[in-house]
Amino acid sequence: MKAFVTQLRVRFGHVDPAGIAYFPRIYDYIHEAFEELWHEHVGVRYDHLLLDRKIGFPLVHSEVDFKRPLHFGDRPIVRVTCLALGTSSLKLRYVYTVDDQVAVDARMTTVCVDLNPLKSRPIPDEYRSKFEELLERP
């Protein structure tokens, strides 16, 4: 199975007084990986998709398992795969590991929409094919 892989850095401003990334920050990390996926794997910057193509992928469902804290200075590796690809929906899995230990396992479902008027639409074929490459197969 092919995955998109990127890395991030847990910075000082990302952690709480206990020295760990506060859980809402994890959603920021997931969205950062989502934007990197679009830029590096799909081949279009997400802001271009929003501003020029007027297409968005708002989040409609999320499941996040927190396996171990992310600490200041950690450099988690993020593996992104596709769990499901519908006509307009996209379910991605984000697995964050530090030293080969899973820290976060997230499953996020987004829906492709025309931004004006915020209405569901089919995922364009040129993008669909890139997500098909990341499909997890049983």
Please report, in tens digits, the pLDDT of each residue of the chain (138 residues total): 799 999 999 999 999 999 999 989 999 999 999 999 999 999 999 999 999 999 999 999 999 999 999 999 999 999 999 999 999 999 999 999 999 999 999 999 999 999 998 999 999 999 999 999 999 987
Residue 81 lies in a domain: yes
Residue 111 lies in a domain: yes
For tokens 């499953």, the residue is 107
Residue 137 lies in a domain: no
| Domain that includes residue 103, residue range | 4-132
Neighbours of 118 (CB within 10 A): 9
Read off the CATH number of the domain in which 53 is found: 3.10.129.10
Nearest C-alpha neighbor of 127 from the set 70, 63, 45, 66: 45
